[in-house]
A and B are shown apart, each in its own frame.
Chain A
Amino acid sequence: MLFCRGFSRISRIPRTSLFGFILSPPTGPSQSLLSNQYLNSTLKVCGGRETFSWGLPAFHGVGGQIHYQSSSIIEEQLDPFSLVADELSLVANRLRSMVVAEVPKLASAAEYFFKLGVEGKRFRPTVLLLMATALNIHIPEPTAGGVGDTLTTDLRTRQQSIAEITEMIHVASLLHDDVLDDADKRRGISSLNAAMGNKLAVLAGDFLLSRACVGLAALKNTEVVSLLATVVEHLVTGETMQMTTSSEQRCSMEYYMQKTYYKTASLISNSCKAIALLAGQTAEVAMLAFEYGKHLGLAFQLIDDVLDFTGTSASLGKGSLSDIQHGIVTAPILFAMEEFPQLHAIVYQGFDNPENVDIALEYLGKSHGIQRTRELAMKHANLAAAAIESLPESNDEQIRKSRRALVDLTQRVITRNN
């Protein structure tokens, strides 16, 4: 990342976020480790969010088929990502060429988009494309087109557009979240690089948002515009909540879940709903799509919280601990606080003092915090799966496969190790 060279972010490394699938097939554990390190090191230099890859056990690459021993499911388990691999390339290429062609100035930052916006991150578009197929039911009455028919462009292309727009909004929010304040600059970062980095980050983010606006307008569906505009509002609100928590708010599970919805789940829920709306689905089905996205997103983040403590091992303290070190109090700690009220005082004080981190970890270890968080994640994952199972029935094989894949994803989200 040209503009970030020589500029290391001393303030907290932002949280892992909902992306990081390496689709270049890892041939074995060492291979995926290598990919991880490459991404991680690139990002640490640039102060971007850490990516992670879902090193799924027994994942043998794109197109591979995973067979589960499952008591009730007889059908073949397909890798969800392989179902939409070609489309994803299409979406990725469109996104990439749009950025490079239209704003050469930002092309140096385009590398950033490629790493984060394309190669690494395909989770959201995968969900959306699968959802598009899953909802591809024949609708008996044509939707009202009105003057200026909204259905002239191919439905699938429009839904792919939602996937692109969603990625643009996501990357834009990452870029803007990374804007530094003078306080950060003063901690020894070269001010020139930081300043330049800031400007390009703001500009690149604005560029993506503006393209998202244009893309949304082209869909000629004002409800979809409203949904995705709301996502931007939520992302900003969530980030601000994270930046400005009071001691009291830090101790509240409700506040935490609200923030988590805003920062992580809203994007998936609203874009899933948009997919349904474009397909002319009923409000009920659109709501199911919304619920799937919401619960999937929440489940994902809760496991993310756990992994920050546990890392790739089941025991505490092997994770990166980046949340707690940055004073971000997540579900495991909040649960622990219910069992050990003494933890309140520590959380209230905050975690600038590293001793508090150790104390908190100790309480966490003695508590059921990790376990309860996993259970909550599982609850949400199951709710997501239930939403899919509530969709209007279909005999179409493609539709059924996609729905199974969406259900499959809900399990992968909670069983992953990284």
Chain B
Amino acid sequence: MERLDPFSLVADELSLIANRLRSMVVADVSNLASAAEYFFKIGAEGKRFRPTVLLLMATALNVHIPELPPAGVGDTLPTDLRTSQQRIAEITEMIHVASLLHDDVLDDADKRRGIGSLNAVMGNKLAVLAGDFLLSRACVSLASLKNTEVVTLIATVVENLVTGETMQLTTASKQRFSMDYYMQKTYNKTASLLSNSCKSIAILAGHTAEVAMLAFEYGKNLGLAFQLIDDVLDFTGTSASLGKGSLSDIRHGIITAPILFAMEEFPELHAVLDQGFKNPANVDIALGFLGKSSGIQRTKELAMKHANLAAQVIESLPESDDADVIRSRQALIDLTQRVITRNK
């Protein structure tokens, strides 16, 4: 089986979506327009990871469904199923960017995606307002799909994103040092968007609850795997050795999986973490412990576990002979490997 680049399978559609996104965030007031489109401009769109997953999932689920639910009265049949699924991808990106805009204000960040963060460039208030604007546009687009189950799923995502952010601002030690809390926070901040949007793709296609759940599980496990590797890379950077990463998490006092694992082996780390990282010496001490521990290794293993779960989910989907369907599923599995082997 030819190993296709997952991203190339959907490249054209991605361009379509990118263009539509740019037109959807146009605002009448010029400052708002500049702010809202800041991260949708060509060059600033980011990895397009999420839309890629969703479009691949849409094709992967493109199987004949024995019984489609009857269309309700007043139901607007999707102009085209594919178009409405693309809309999920757009909505997801808008919500994602909106959350980035607010996160950057909350984190006092000055850089994002290699350029100045919006709050650094245009001010906190405009960044906050732009985030709200994107959210409202996403909701209007969501409403136009006329599917109340999907509306509920995406509303849950919005709620989870806020909860995740609130959890991150928590300073209580008991929670900061808890792996369960960390995984819950990670689900909220990263995986929920993927899981629920994947599920929405399935629901729009009229799939059963079982298939919708499989789509959900794929997104969830992929998202968790992604974030865990993100945590590792923040320490290791593009090299396998410690300290070459940006270390931005630890410097902001954000405790991630590698450190949490290290703490299990070296309880002394507790005291260091309690002191916080205003003192850069503490960063070095923590890194020292991390290096001696199997924290990095165990995080990679956990990521792999989730990646494999995601791959298995794809293999559990209802069979299909269609070449496109098979290719997309292969691509989705491929993604689970790329997520954990990537260097950046």
Name A residues whose Cβ lies closer than 8 Å to a Cβ of B.
103, 105-106, 144-148, 150, 173, 176-177, 179-183, 195, 198-199, 202-203, 205-207, 209-211, 213-214, 216-218, 220-223, 225-226, 229-233, 235-237, 239-241, 243-244
CB distance from B324 to the nearest CB of A (A): 30
Q: A179-B128, A232-B135 are in contact. Are A214 and B155 (CB under 8 A)?
A: yes
A111 to B207, CA, bound (A): 46
Question: Which of A206, A217, A241 lies in contact with B165, CB distance below 8 A?
Answer: A206
- Chain B contacts with A in 96-118, Cβ cutoff 8 A: 102, 105-106, 108
Closest to A241 in B: B29
The number of A-B residue pairs with CB atoms under 8 Å apart is 153
CB distance from A169 to the nearest CB of B (A): 10
User: In this assembly, does B43 line the interface, its C-beta being within 8 Å of a C-beta of chain A?
Assistant: no
Across the A-B interface, the 10 shortest Cβ-Cβ residue pairs: A146-B72, A229-B139, A226-B143, A232-B136, A217-B155, A144-B73, A233-B136, A213-B155, A225-B143, A181-B123
User: In this assembly, does B321 line the interface, its C-beta being within 8 Å of a C-beta of chain A?
Assistant: no
Q: List 26 A-B contacts (CB under 8 A).
A: A150-B148, A176-B125, A176-B132, A179-B105, A179-B125, A203-B162, A206-B165, A213-B158, A214-B155, A214-B156, A214-B159, A217-B154, A217-B155, A217-B156, A221-B148, A222-B143, A222-B151, A223-B143, A225-B143, A229-B143, A230-B136, A232-B133, A237-B27, A237-B29, A241-B29, A243-B125
Question: Which of B69, B132, B152 lies in contact with A232, CB distance below 8 A?
Answer: B132
Closest to B75 in A: A146
Asked if A240 and B29 make an inter-chain contact with CB atoms under 8 angstroms apart, the answer reads yes
Asked if A198 and B159 make an inter-chain contact with CB atoms under 8 angstroms apart, the answer reads no
Contact with A along B120-132 (1 / 0, CB 8 A): 0001111011101
Asked if B166 and A229 make an inter-chain contact with CB atoms under 8 angstroms apart, the answer reads no
Closest to B133 in A: A236
**Residues in B whose Cβ lies below 8 Å from that of A232:** 132-133, 135-136, 139
A337 to B54, CA, bound (A): 56
Asked if B140 and A195 make an inter-chain contact with CB atoms under 8 angstroms apart, the answer reads no
**Residues in A whose Cβ lies below 8 Å from that of B72:** 144-148
A237 to B26, CA, bound (A): 12
**Residues in A whose Cβ lies below 8 Å from that of B70:** 147
**Residues in A whose Cβ lies below 8 Å from that of B169:** 105, 199, 203
Contact with A along B244-270 (1 / 0, CB 8 A): 000000000000000000000000000
CB distance from A200 to the nearest CB of B (A): 9
User: In this assembly, does B137 line the interface, its C-beta being within 8 Å of a C-beta of chain A?
Assistant: yes
Asked if B155 and A216 make an inter-chain contact with CB atoms under 8 angstroms apart, the answer reads yes
**Residues in B whose Cβ lies below 8 Å from that of A205:** 128, 132
A235 to B170, CA, bound (A): 30
Asked if A244 and B31 make an inter-chain contact with CB atoms under 8 angstroms apart, the answer reads yes
Given contacts A216-B155, A230-B136, A237-B28, 8 further A-B contacts (CB under 8 A): A105-B166, A202-B105, A209-B132, A213-B155, A216-B139, A225-B142, A229-B143, A236-B136
Question: Which of B75, B128, B133 lies in contact with A202, CB distance below 8 A?
Answer: B128
CB distance from B16 to the nearest CB of A (A): 24
Asked if A202 and B106 make an inter-chain contact with CB atoms under 8 angstroms apart, the answer reads yes
Question: Which of B32, B142, B154, B161 lies in contact with A236, CB distance below 8 A?
Answer: B32
Question: Which of B29, B125, B166 lies in contact with A103, CB distance below 8 A?
Answer: B166
User: In this assembly, does B74 line the interface, its C-beta being within 8 Å of a C-beta of chain A?
Assistant: yes
Interface residues on B, range: 35 or more
A218 to B153, CA, bound (A): 11
Closest to B107 in A: A199
User: In this assembly, does B144 line the interface, its C-beta being within 8 Å of a C-beta of chain A?
Assistant: yes
Asked if B148 and A220 make an inter-chain contact with CB atoms under 8 angstroms apart, the answer reads yes
Asked if A210 and B105 make an inter-chain contact with CB atoms under 8 angstroms apart, the answer reads no
User: In this assembly, does B146 line the interface, its C-beta being within 8 Å of a C-beta of chain A?
Assistant: yes
A362 to B143, CA, bound (A): 51
Closest to B33 in A: A240
A225 to B151, CA, bound (A): 9
Q: A179-B124, A181-B124, A236-B32 are in contact. Are A105 and B170 (CB under 8 A)?
A: yes
Asked if A209 and B135 make an inter-chain contact with CB atoms under 8 angstroms apart, the answer reads yes
**Residues in A whose Cβ lies below 8 Å from that of B133:** 232-233, 236-237
Asked if A195 and B136 make an inter-chain contact with CB atoms under 8 angstroms apart, the answer reads no
**Residues in A whose Cβ lies below 8 Å from that of B159:** 210-211, 213-214
**Residues in B whose Cβ lies below 8 Å from that of A103:** 166
Question: Which of A173, A211, A217, A230 lies in contact with B148, CB distance below 8 A?
Answer: A217
**Residues in A whose Cβ lies below 8 Å from that of B147:** 222
CB distance from B244 to the nearest CB of A (A): 30
Q: A146-B72, A225-B142 are in contact. Are A202 and B158 (CB under 8 A)?
A: no
- Chain B contacts with A in 64-89, Cβ cutoff 8 A: 69-70, 72-75
Asked if B146 and A240 make an inter-chain contact with CB atoms under 8 angstroms apart, the answer reads no
**Residues in B whose Cβ lies below 8 Å from that of A210:** 155, 158-159, 161-162
Question: Which of B102, B124, B170 lies in contact with A182, CB distance below 8 A?
Answer: B124
Q: A237-B29, A244-B29 are in contact. Are A230 and B151 (CB under 8 A)?
A: no
Q: A146-B74, A203-B166, A233-B136 are in contact. Are A180 and B27 (CB under 8 A)?
A: no
CB distance from A185 to the nearest CB of B (A): 9
